[in-house]
Structure 1
Amino acid sequence: MQRSVSIKDVANLAEVAVGTVSNVLNNPDRVSNRTKEKVLRAIDELGFVRNDAARQLRAGHSRTIGVVVLDVGNPFFTAIARAAEDAAEAHGSAVLLGDSGQDSARESHYIDLFQEQAVQGLLISPVGNILDRIDNLRERGIPTVLVDRRADESRYSSVSVDDDAGGYLAARHLLDLGRRRLAFVGGPLHLAQVAERLAGARRAIDNTPGATLEVLDSGAQSVLAGRRIGDSLAARDKAGIPDGIFCANDLLALGVMQSITMMNGLAIPDDVALIGYDDIDFAASAVVPLSSIRQPTEAIGRSAIQLLMADLGNPGHKHQAITFTPELVIRRSTAGPAAPAEQHTEAPALSN
């Protein structure tokens, strides 16, 4: 069996010291362009592949960043992961992605796995309260940034969106259309993001005389869960069907839309005005283009990596809690055919 090419082989072919090859690989700014070109030609000719495991043992960590999301099947989280991957690549790091599936045991498994892999740091959208685990990781030299969840910046860094404001914006839009029998579709209700969107919707209802809000726990945030809710609503007498529905994400809204329009003959927005959350790509191309609350996925992923990189190897690092403002995107599912195809409105600032 042919032995693997070593760094010494590269040095011999390039007629340089082993330390020079190491600098080309790890500190290229210390090497002249002429010498660097010689070493890179030797690497290409020999087919040299660096032994990153050995480098990791010396450094105490890898060049990878662990990312744990709630649902990799949700385009919102895949967009954040992609933005984080692009930002990490610019820093010479790579991303390892884990899907907790909103399961705390599976989430814990990924945290353990990434700790065993000695990742540089961790980005996580937590299922529940994992602050003790984060403290434990930091003690072992693995900083963590919470994503899509606000944290106490005296202890951790986080990147999130003001979901209470987003929930208010969605419900307020339905109320401004004259809808008064609203339903909120989301679940599990204990999930922080869902609970905050519901709280914002309730604030809007409380400020509107004669308005009501029915809460329908979907148990999950998938298209199938939305279809189940849609079927249950369509089975009611017409007087019992809400005239406005706010779904905690776009996948649920698309499922509700499929059920009540394609299988049960209700019209959107004539019978029911429908709004989702996240503004995934599929929202604009739905059978009835879906109004939604837009979250800046690219900025979330990029900012999370920036916060993590600022924390690496910096014991005196000052944590930050970055909170983005959501934006209302109006399409046919609430506006009707006579309204503009798409309008954008930012959430109002909240008073304390």
Structure 2
Amino acid sequence: MTANIRDVAERAGVSVGTVSNVLNHNERVSPDAASRVRAAIADLGYVRNDAARQLRAGRSRTVGLVVLDVRNPFFTELARGAEREADRHGLSVLLANSDEDIARESRYLALFEQQRVRGILISPYQQAGARLRELRDRGIPSVLVDRRSEDELFSSVSVDDENGGYLAARHLLDIGRRRILYTGGPIDMRQIDDRRRGARRAVDETGAASLEILPARASQVEDGRAAGHEIASRPPSHRPDAVFCANDLVALGVLQSLASHGIRVPDDVALIGFDDIDFAAAAVVPLSSVRQPSLLMGETALRMLVAETDDGERPAEQVVFQPELVVRASTAG
């Protein structure tokens, strides 16, 4: 049977209030009483029920974080940033992976509501505004991460994905490539489509250049391999001379597939990704990429969420970071 605070008080020969003071305000208790309480806690194996205590206090010390795909190192680094900032505020982060599934995302939001989290950071798959408004009305605010709030009703931390797509395509055009292929998916995801639109803008500025869209089911390494195989199966005259991938995982898959077919990067096909994950620089052919400040994004989002929970009247804030082009061997040959 699990020991409770009354069992500790009885074992130590003190009141329940004294035990509570030892746990929360140790300076109010005499050294002798505090010593007896700590000994009783050790003997009984007592563990404080923080969940019940937080419910009584009306303030949780946990924050929920819902990411699109925990396999993507971008989201891992973003979570690390949120966790680092949470630690500064005495908070903990509960990580959930929606796996780009709306139903799964909804289940996690319901779970976080049941857990009475202090607030939620979320990278929504589609539009989750109605559900997030319900949670806010019930005292659980949200901050969007890696997605701008279109109606600006929620605070958000994002990167200018359209400008990132422009930087990637502009770089490929500047090194003389004219037949650019963009791949990754799902293509209806806001971030993926914004990067495509940025690439389209760069191509439209340039004469005698084209942009082909090769849709993918998702944006994982295996989707990149499939795209690379499709490109390699074409006659050389029908292949693109440059590939812009929706993220670095897709780009690494494309790189693997092209290499297995004897297609040289960047000599035959220049290749650029997005996110600048650690694996990009470590690839056999170091990968050019568009860098997002993932760690800073996580820290900023958590800081904004804490500010909103401290001030319920705080207006929504949209923080948009600018991406950075990182050039490596996959386009610099």
Verify same fold: TM over 0.5.
yes
The CA deviation string for residues 98-155 of structure 1, in whole angstroms up to 9 with x for no partner, is 1111111111111111111111111100011111111100011000000000115852
Change over 3 Å in CA distance of 1:228–1:155 after alignment to 2: same
Aligned-partner Cα distance in 1 for 2:32–2:197:
60
Residues 290-324 of structure 1, C-alpha deviation per residue, up to 9 Å, x if partnerless?
A: 00011111101101110110011422112211111
Separation (CA, whole Å) in 2 of partners of 1:218 and 1:37: 68
**SS of the residue aligned with 1:333?**
coil
The correspondence of residues 32-181 of structure 1 with structure 2, limited to 5 A, is 32=27, 39=34, 42-43=37-38, 46-47=41-42, 48-151=46-149, 154-181=152-179
1:67 alignment partner, SS class: strand
* 2:74 counterpart SS class: helix
3-state SS of paired residue (2:330)? helix
Moved more, 246-255 or 114-123: 114-123
SS at match of 1:260: helix
CA apart distance, 1:164: 0.6
Q: Give, as a single letter, the amino acid of the residue that structure 1 aligns with 2:211.
A: L
Alpha carbons 2:86, 2:93 under 8 Å: kept: yes
Letter in 2 for 1:287: V
In structure 1, the partner of 2:297 is 300
Q: Is the 8 A contact 1:184 1:214 kept in 2?
A: yes
| Equivalent position of 1:349 in the other structure | none
Unmatched 5+ residue regions in structure 1? 337-352
Which residue of structure 1 aligns with residue 277 of structure 2?
Answer: 280
**How far apart are residue 37 of structure 1 and its match?**
11
1:88–1:305 contact (8 Å) kept in structure 2: yes
TM-score (norm 1): 0.87
Q: 1:154 to 1:332 in 2, by over 3 A?
A: closer
Give the equivalent residue in structure 2 for 1:222. 220
Contact 2:79/2:298, CA 8 A, preserved across alignment? yes
How far apart in 2 are the matches of 1:289 and 1:55? 51
The verdict on how the C-alpha distance between 1:45 and 1:11 changes in structure 2, with shifts beyond 3 A counting, is closer
1:94 positional shift:
1.3
Aligned counterpart, 2:235: 237
Letter in 1 for 2:8: D
Q: Does 1:314 align with 2:318?
A: no
3-state SS, counterpart of residue 172 of structure 1: helix
CA contact (8 A) 1:65 1:94 kept: yes
1:208-235 Cα offsets, whole Å, 9 max, x none, are: 1111000010110000000000000000
**1 CA distance for matches of 2:296 and 2:329?**
27
Rate the CA distance shift 1:34–1:247 in 2: closer, same or farther, 3 A: same
Q: For the residues of structure 2 that align with 1:203 and 1:44, how far apart are their CA atoms? A: 69
TM-score relative to the length of structure 2: 0.92
Amino acid at match of 1:43: R
* Shift, 1:172, TM fit: 0.4
Displacement of 1:180 in angstroms is 0.3
Deviations 1:60-106 (A, max 9, x none): 45321111110001111111112212221221221111111111111
Query: For residues 317 and 243 of structure 1, do their structure 2 counterparts lie closer, same or farther at Cα, with a shift above 3 Å needed?
Result: same
Once the two structures are superposed, residues 17-69 of structure 1 have per-residue CA deviations (whole angstroms, 9 ceiling, x without a partner) of 6546545645x5xx649869974884366234211132133134532111111
Query: Per the alignment, in what secondary structure is the counterpart of residue 263 of structure 2?
Result: coil
- Say if 2:22 and 2:37, in contact at 8 Å, map to a contact too: no
Q: Which runs of 5+ in 2 are unaligned?
A: none
Aligned length: 330
- Say if 1:89 and 1:247 are closer, same or farther in 2 by CA, change over 3 A: same
Letter in 2 for 1:319: A
Give distance in 2, aligned partners of 1:173 and 1:259.
Answer: 23
Q: Work out whether 1:199 is the aligned partner of 2:197.
A: yes
Aligned-CA RMSD value: 2.3
- Relative distance call for 1:176 and 1:93 in structure 2 (3 A) is same
CA distance in 1: counterparts of 2:30 and 2:85, whole angstroms: 29
- After the TM superposition, which of the residue ranges 160-169 and 62-71 deviates more from structure 2? 62-71
Query: Whole-Å Cα distance in 2 between the matches of residues 174 and 273 of structure 1?
Result: 7
* Deviating more after overlay: 309-318 vs 270-279: 309-318
CA contact (8 A) 2:144 2:157 kept: yes
